[in-house]
Amino acid sequence: MQEERKAKASVPTPHIAALPGDIAETVLLPGDPLRAKRIAESFLEEVHSFNEVRNMFGFTGFYRGQRVSVMGTGMGCPSMGIYAHELIHFYGAARLIRIGTAGAMQESIAVRDLVLAEGASTNSNFPALFELPGTFAPLADFELLYRAARIASALNKRVTVGAVLTSDMFYGPAESTAAVEKWSRMGVLAVEMETAALYATAASLGAKALSILTVSDHLLTGETLSAEEREAGFTDMAELALSLATEEMRGGII
Ligand SMILES: O=P(O)(O)O[C@H]1O[C@H](CO)[C@@H](O)[C@H]1O
Ligand SMILES: O=c1cc[nH]c(=O)[nH]1
């Protein structure tokens, strides 16, 4: 019954007020809706707002002549799961690019660096809820990942590609020194809270996804970014994501 109700739902959805055609095929997804607003104001032309439900702001505009949307997702897997599902299933989003912050877990990574999440280990039960007969490995779309790495290096940004941890806990045992050391020893680069849900949802609905993360703090050294430094990091990340979005849509070859 619940399944049927959801299958019959149409736009606007319970969480997004946009009408059909309001949202571009490529959507940038910061966790913070105010970051979505700042990116729309700073980088996009001919911007229109398509969502204010729950203050989860969403905007569509043009970047270098290509139509792009940007919308907040909130924090954590359930919130990401709702927005990613509705954007893909009801609004036809084909490429979802998360732009978020993360805490570094390797000495080789510094605050302000960019991390491209090739895959996301997780302590969340979210991927298990797809009821697969095994353990799903949440992975980035290879083409988005490869292109993002090439663009980052062409833009001279410090970037590392690899595994991240998607954690359901920001405070508590899952983020303790002991837990961080264990993930670090397995080569995990950084921790955040949404990528596994994004990759699993995109895979389940046939869309492409990538997480681009700015390191906002370092879990081994205790270093954190000031508000101004965070802002600069977001600018780097937004430029990379927008360049990736427009190159993808022009259909360049790998
Ligand atoms: O900066 P965002 O995209 O919100 O990402 C990170 O920051 C939040 C925690 O402060 C979590 O959402 C985590 O994933
Ligand atoms: O989820 C997050 C984001 C930034 N830093 C952390 O430690 N965790």
Q: Say what the pLDDT of residue 253 is.
A: 46
Nearest atom within ligand 1 for CA of residue 99: 3
Per-residue pLDDT of the chain (254 residues; tens, 9 = 90+): 445 555 556 899 999 999 999 999 999 999 999 999 999 999 999 999 999 999 999 999 999 999 999 999 999 999 999 999 999 999 999 999 999 999 999 999 999 999 999 999 999 999 999 999 999 999 999 999 999 999 999 999 999 999 999 999 999 998 899 999 999 999 999 999 999 999 999 999 999 999 999 999 999 999 998 878 877 778 889 999 999 999 865 665 44
Q: Is the CB of 26 under 6 A from ligand 2?
A: no
Domain total of the chain: 1
pTM of the model: 0.95
Respond yes or no on whether ipTM tops 0.95. Answer: yes
Host H or E run for residue 47: strand 45-51
CA-closest residue to ligand 1 atom 4: 31
Is the separation of the CB atoms in 152 and 116 below 8 Å?
yes
* Ligand 2 closest atom vs CA 167: 1
Give the domain extent around 150: 2-250
**For position 66, which CATH number holds?**
3.40.50.1580
Residues 6 or more apart in contact with residue 113 via CB below 8 angstroms: 104, 158, 159, 160, 214, 215
CB of 103 within 6 A of ligand 2: the answer is: yes
Q: Is 170 in the pocket of ligand 1 (CB under 6 A)?
A: yes
Nearest atom, ligand 1, residue 166 CA: 14
Does 130 sit in the ligand 2 pocket, CB within 6 Å? no
